[in-house]
Amino acid sequence: MNVTRLADDTTLVESLRLAVPLHLADLLARPAADRDVTARWWAADAARAVGERGDLLQFVDANRNGAKRTRVANTFDQMARGLAALVVMHEPGVDVAGLHWCLRDKCDRCRPARPQPAVTLADINAQLEALDDDYRRLAGLPPYTPPPVEPSPPTPLPAPRRPVTVVNLPEVA
């Protein structure tokens, strides 16, 4: 059996990085009295769900049917809501899988949980080209050279239209 740490599951960690702040914003938008009740309910619901079905998040089953996928999604959502509730209930914040969430405005520990700077398409293309070059080198393949692009023949322009002039001649009797 392949046992990994939660922090090593990048899909789960990145999903939490997105979902917990969304649930936290939803929770903070509620009135204070409702917020406390909802936070306690979310935390209890998350504890129950993760206790009963947490293994669905740990072990990937390639043959998941629709019902099992729904249970996985619901379990993840309940866990993310529970973490958001714990952030509200626990003053110093919550640390999970290398991520930290808290309610303080300026917190250096929250940095990994906050959105990272945008990556440009040029950066991604450069990284992909470097990976492709490394793969080809390791596989003993020659470097990739794109095929020559032949210019397409110019599209013929439609023949210019001649202006139509209407001439009304008087009738001759």
Residue of higher predicted confidence among 157 and 36: 36
What are the two backbone dihedrals, phi and then psi, of residue 109, each rounded to the nearest 5 degrees?
-75, -20
Quote the pTM value.
0.56
Structure tokens at 81: 């809501």
Q: What is the CA radius of gyration of the chain?
A: 30
Residue 119 is predicted with a pLDDT of 66
pLDDT tens digit sequence for 60-91: 665 566 666 677 777 888 888 888 888 888 87
Contact 19, 80 (CB under 8 A): yes
> Whose CA is closest to 58, among 103, 104, 108, 3?
3
Residue 170 is predicted with a pLDDT of 78
Residue 36, pLDDT above cutoff 70: yes
H helical segments located in the chain? 10-28, 32-53, 55-58, 66-89, 121-139
CB atoms within 10 A of CB 38: 18
- The amino acid occupying position 40 is R
Question: What does the alpha-carbon distance between residue 87 and residue 101 come to, in Å, rounded to a whole number?
Answer: 6
Structure tokens at 91: 């003053």
What residues does each domain of the chain span?
6-113
Residue 3 is predicted with a pLDDT of 45
Residue 117, pLDDT above cutoff 70: no
pLDDT tens digit sequence for 19-32: 888 888 888 888 88
What are the Cα distances from residue 108, in Å, to 101, 102, 105, 111? 11, 11, 10, 6
Residue 5 is predicted with a pLDDT of 63
Residue 132 is predicted with a pLDDT of 81
Chain mean position to CA 6:
18
Burial of 19 (0-12, 13-18, 19+ CB in 10 A): middle
Residue 2, pLDDT above cutoff 50: no
